[in-house]
Chains A and B, each alone.
Chain A
Amino acid sequence: MRNVWTILVKELYTYFVSPVAYFVLFVFVGIIGFLFSSSLIIGGINRMETTEVLNVLFLNMSVTLLFFAPAMTMKLFAEERRTGTIELLMTSPVRDVEVVMGKYLASLTLLLMMLALTLPFPIITSFYGKVDVGPVISGYVGLILLGASFLSIGILVSSMCRNQIVAALTSFGILLLLWLIGFIARGRGTIGEVLRYLSLVEHFEDFARGIIGLKHVIYYLSVTAVFLFATVRSVESAKWR
Chain B
Amino acid sequence: MIDVQNLTKYYGSFRGIENVSFRVEAGEVVGFLGPNGAGKTTTMRILTCFMPATSGKATVAGYDVFKESLEVRKHIGYLPETVPLYLEMTVESYLKYMAKLRGVPKKRVKERVETVMEACGLTHVRKRVIGHLSKGYRQRVGIAQALVHDPEVLILDEPTIGLDPKQVVEIRQLIKELGKEHTVILSTHILPEASMICRRVIIINEGRIAGNVWLEGGRVTSIQTGEGAAVQVGDRRTLSLLVRAPEEALKTALQGMPEVLDVRVEDIHDGVVRLSVDHTPDSDIREKISSLIVGNGWGLLELSPMEITLEEVFLKLVSREIEGVRG
Chain A residues close to B by CB (< 8 Å): 2-3, 6-7, 10, 13-14, 17-18, 83-95, 239-241
Residue of A nearest to B103 (CB): A93
> Are A93 and B73 CB-contacts (below 8 A) given A85-B84, A239-B52?
yes
Which positions 70-102 of chain B face chain A at CB distance < 8 Å? 70-71, 73-74, 76, 78, 80, 82, 84-89, 93, 97-98, 100-102
Chain B nearest CB from A91 CB (Å) reads 4
> Are A6 and B88 CB-contacts (below 8 A) given A87-B80, A91-B50, A92-B102?
no
Chain A residues with Cβ under 8 A from B11's Cβ? 241
Q: Which of B78, B98, B101, B103 has the most CB of A within 10 A?
A: B101
Chain A residues with Cβ under 8 A from B100's Cβ? 2-3, 6
Chain B residues with Cβ under 8 A from A95's Cβ? 70
Please tell me if B2 contacts chain A, counting CB pairs below 8 Å.
no
Q: How far is the CA of A14 from the CA of B90 in the complex (A)?
A: 11
Chain B nearest CB from A174 CB (Å) reads 28
Please tell me if B48 contacts chain A, counting CB pairs below 8 Å.
yes
Please tell me if B49 contacts chain A, counting CB pairs below 8 Å.
yes
Chain B residues with Cβ under 8 A from A239's Cβ? 50-52
> Are A90 and B49 CB-contacts (below 8 A) given A18-B88, A85-B84, A95-B70?
yes
Residue of A nearest to B47 (CB): A91
A13 touches B93 (CB 8 A): yes
Which positions 37-86 of chain B face chain A at CB distance < 8 Å? 45, 48-52, 70-71, 73-74, 76, 78, 80, 82, 84-86
Chain B residues with Cβ under 8 A from A240's Cβ? 51-52
> Are A91 and B70 CB-contacts (below 8 A) given A3-B101, A13-B93, A18-B88?
no
Chain B residues with Cβ under 8 A from A86's Cβ? 84
Chain A nearest CB from B60 CB (Å) reads 12
Chain B nearest CB from A152 CB (Å) reads 23
Chain B nearest CB from A149 CB (Å) reads 28
Residue of A nearest to B72 (CB): A93
Residue of A nearest to B73 (CB): A93
A14 touches B80 (CB 8 A): no
Please tell me if B145 contacts chain A, counting CB pairs below 8 Å.
yes
Residue of B nearest to A18 (CB): B88
Residue of A nearest to B129 (CB): A17
Q: Nearest 3 pairs between A and B by C-beta? A: A85-B84, A93-B73, A88-B84
Chain B nearest CB from A8 CB (Å) reads 11
Chain B residues with Cβ under 8 A from A94's Cβ? 73, 101
Q: How far is the CA of A89 from the CA of B76 in the complex (A)?
A: 13
> Are A87 and B50 CB-contacts (below 8 A) given A13-B89, A17-B88, A93-B74?
yes
Residue of A nearest to B74 (CB): A93
Chain A residues with Cβ under 8 A from B97's Cβ? 6, 10
Q: Which of B76, B84, B97 has the most CB of A within 10 A?
A: B84
Chain B residues with Cβ under 8 A from A3's Cβ? 100-101
Chain A residues with Cβ under 8 A from B88's Cβ? 14, 17-18
What are 15 A-B pairs with beta-carbon distances under 8 A? A7-B101, A10-B97, A13-B89, A17-B88, A85-B85, A86-B84, A87-B84, A88-B80, A88-B145, A89-B101, A91-B48, A91-B80, A92-B73, A92-B98, A93-B71
Chain B residues close to A by CB (< 8 Å): 11, 45, 48-52, 70-71, 73-74, 76, 78, 80, 82, 84-89, 93, 97-98, 100-103, 145
Q: Which of A7, A83, A84, A93 has the most CB of B within 10 A?
A: A93
Residue of A nearest to B49 (CB): A91
Chain A residues with Cβ under 8 A from B80's Cβ? 84, 87-88, 91
Chain A nearest CB from B163 CB (Å) reads 18
Chain A residues with Cβ under 8 A from B50's Cβ? 87, 90-91, 239
Chain A residues with Cβ under 8 A from B45's Cβ? 87
A84 touches B82 (CB 8 A): yes
Chain B residues with Cβ under 8 A from A6's Cβ? 97, 100-101
Chain A nearest CB from B210 CB (Å) reads 27
Chain A residues with Cβ under 8 A from B82's Cβ? 83-84
Q: How far is the CA of A17 from the CA of B45 in the complex (A)?
A: 31
Q: How far is the CA of A17 from the CA of B93 in the complex (A)?
A: 13
Chain B residues with Cβ under 8 A from A14's Cβ? 86, 88-89
Which of A7, A84, A241 sits near B84, CB closer than 8 Å?
A84
Chain A residues with Cβ under 8 A from B78's Cβ? 87-88, 91
Q: How far is the CA of A6 from the CA of B7 in the complex (A)?
A: 34
B98 touches A91 (CB 8 A): no
Chain B nearest CB from A77 CB (Å) reads 14
Chain B nearest CB from A92 CB (Å) reads 5
Chain A nearest CB from B58 CB (Å) reads 14
Q: How far is the CA of A84 from the CA of B71 in the complex (A)?
A: 22
Chain A residues with Cβ under 8 A from B74's Cβ? 93
Chain B residues with Cβ under 8 A from A13's Cβ? 89, 93
Chain B nearest CB from A239 CB (Å) reads 5
Q: How far is the CA of A89 from the CA of B85 in the complex (A)?
A: 11
Q: How far is the CA of A18 from the CA of B51 in the complex (A)?
A: 31
Known: A89-B101, A91-B50. 16 other contacts (CB 8 A): A6-B97, A14-B88, A18-B88, A83-B86, A83-B87, A87-B45, A90-B49, A91-B76, A91-B78, A93-B71, A93-B101, A93-B103, A94-B101, A239-B51, A239-B52, A240-B52
